[in-house]
Every structure is written in C-alpha cells, then in structure tokens.
Amino acid sequence: MKQQDFNKSKIYKNVTTTVKLKGKEVKVHGLSIGTVAVKRNFKTKNGYGSLSKINILLGKEYTEYLPIWVWVIEHPEGIIVIDTGENAESLDIDKYLAKESFFAKYQFKHACKVKIQPQEELNHQLNKINIKVDDVKLVILTHLHSDHIDGLKFFPKQEILMGKYEFLHPDNCFTTTLPSWFKPNTVDFIQNKIEVFNQAYPISQNEDLLLIPTPGHTLGHNSVLLKTDDFDIIFAGDSSYHQDQVLKGEMAGANTDYNKTKQTYRNFLDYATLRRTIYLPTHDENAGQRLASKSFLV
C-alpha cells in the first residue's frame, strides 16, 4: 500500500446548518469523507486542448489536500445523501483497480492522491450526526468519479438516483469498482422546470429538491438544487473545484468539455442573481464554512 502522507494533512470539520422548508426546520450537513490532493494542472487548466490533459500527467506539483464533502439533508420526505465520498480500500490502487486497464491505473496514479482511514468513511460520519445508514432513504449521485461513488458500498438497500446520460456515458468511471447490485434509478430532465437551467428533474414530491444539468466536468454531470424558504443551495459536485473558479471564469484542467463548463458557470451566476444561492462544490475548502455561515455566491 502506498504510504499515506499524514504531515500535509488538513482537517475539514463536519458542519451542520438549519434551513426552513415550508416553515419546517430542516438540518443540512456537510460531512468530510477523506481528502484528495490533485495535480495543480488538474485543478487549474494549463495549456490549450489536449495539451491541458497531458500537462496533468506531466505536472509534478500537487494541490494541498482538499476535502471530499458529502452532503446530507434531513428532508421531511426522508434522509437524502448527495454523493458518497471515498473509501479506504481505494488507497491500494493496484488491488482496487486490478480489473481496470493499465492506462486507467496510470492515469489515476498520476492525477491525484487520496487520504482516508476506515473510521473516516461515510457510515462512521453518519453515526456522528446520529444517522444510521439504514435511516437513509435516497442517495443522489452527481457523477460517477470514484471519490463520489466509493461510499456506495454502504447503500445496497437504498434507492440511488442519478442522471441517465451520466449513467450511460460516464467519463473516466472505474466501472469494475461499482457494486454488483448497482442499478440506479436513472432519470431524464423535464423542460421548463426551473429558471436559467431550464431542464430539471424534481426529486422531492413538493419539488423543493431538483436534479439540474451542470455538464462540463463530465458530459452528464449534474448538481442538486435545494430551494429553501429563504435561499437556495446548489450542491455542485465537481462543476468547479472552488467557488472562485466560477466567479473568475477559471477552468479546471479536469474537464471533459470546457465550453459546456463555461455555460454551466454562466448558469450558476445567472441563477444566483435571481435567488440568493449558496454554492457548494465537493472539493472546496471553504464550502463547509459557507454552508454554516450562509454565504452566497453573488
């Protein structure tokens, strides 16, 4: 097993905040499930076209360890988990990705370094907020990258919901690591369901929770929008690595389609001018803090 680098470790504390849904107080949690350091050229685009991808593999510098946030909503219709974080088995890359291609393993080893201990996995973190895995009603996936799906192993009994396009056309998904029982409910978007993004899939019955298309990082990448009584929250997956990238129009190197990402950034900004919006990407060091202090995108 690769030696974990504990010295450069950063601790991201779990956060909890309370929002109102139709007058009812509802808790929203950010749980930190391991950390990941990515090549600087992975987080921030360096070079044009395919050169930016080659530069990810050739670059030597890594970012500091970034959080892997998993979001939990104690929704009146049931407890909802958004993405599932990492797991400790994944640290032994040759074993974990044994059935993947040589190139897949090479790419993974040269793009990021993950750090997680078994007691940091999602089941333990849920216990810390007094939620048992069995209490979870629904798991929503933004996309199929390993640091978002490696905690799926805890949810064989739950409904898992994700966008149909991402399921049918995943980018860089280690399909051999998916649980054998993995059969998500894959959904199509409905037109005219939301301003700016236009298409959406209403997840909750009262349509305060929606899956929205935010392509670019992967072609089928989605985010989750929670409409509270006072403001909205976008759980943005890997739409960007941090909030500043959206504000400055800075591209991540890890992108399948830069033009789609540009449009997705515009949509976030346009939406945030209509409704106050907290923007929460999975690997943003400050996302937990923004959720706790209710800081808005614009």
Q: Which parts of this chain interact with Zn ion (CB under 5 A)?
A: 145, 238
Residue 6 in 3-state DSSP? Answer: coil
Q: What is the dihedral of CA 150, 152, 153, 156, to 10 degrees?
A: -170
| Least gap, CB of 45 to Zn ion (angstroms) | 15
Shortest Cβ distance from residue 294 to Zn ion (Å)? 26
Closest CB to Zn ion among residues 145, 260: 145
Of 91, 97, 82, the C-alpha closest to 34 is 91
Closest CB to Zn ion: residue number: 145
- Tokens 């032994």, located at residue: 92
By C-beta, is 173 or 233 nearer to Zn ion?
A: 173
Q: Which is nearer to Zn ion, 147 or 232 (CB)?
A: 147
Closest CA to 69 of 213, 289, 284: 284
Taking the least distance from each CB to Zn ion, the nearer of 203 and 254 is 254
Write down the residue that tokens 């798991």 correspond to: 139
3-state secondary structure (DSSP) of residue 31: strand
Q: Quick one: 68 or 278, whose CB is closer to Zn ion?
A: 68
- Do 196 and 218 form a contact (C-beta atoms < 8 A)? no
Q: State the minimum distance, in angstroms, from the CB of residue 261 to Zn ion.
A: 12
By beta-carbon proximity to Zn ion, the closer residue of 121 and 166 is 166
Cβ 122 to Zn ion shortest distance, Å: 17
Tell the smallest beta-carbon distance from residue 249 to Zn ion (Å). Answer: 20
The minimum distance between CB 271 and Zn ion, in angstroms, equals 21
Per-residue tokens: 286: 């400050």
Q: Which is nearer to Zn ion, 145 or 153 (CB)?
A: 145
Q: Which two tokens stand for residue 213?
A: 């298309």
In terms of CB distance, is 141 or 200 closer to Zn ion? 141
Distance from C-alpha of 22 to C-alpha of 62, rounded to nearest angstrom:
44
Least Å from the CB of residue 150 to Zn ion: 12
Query: 225 near 214, Cβ under 8 Å?
Result: no
Q: Which two tokens stand for residue 69?
A: 């946030």
Distance CA 219, CA 214 (A): 8
At closest approach, how far in Å is the CB of 282 from Zn ion? 8
CA dihedral 244, 264, 230, 226 (to 10 degrees): -110
Tokens of 107: 């790419």
HSE-up of residue 240 (Cα within 13 Å, Cβ side): 26
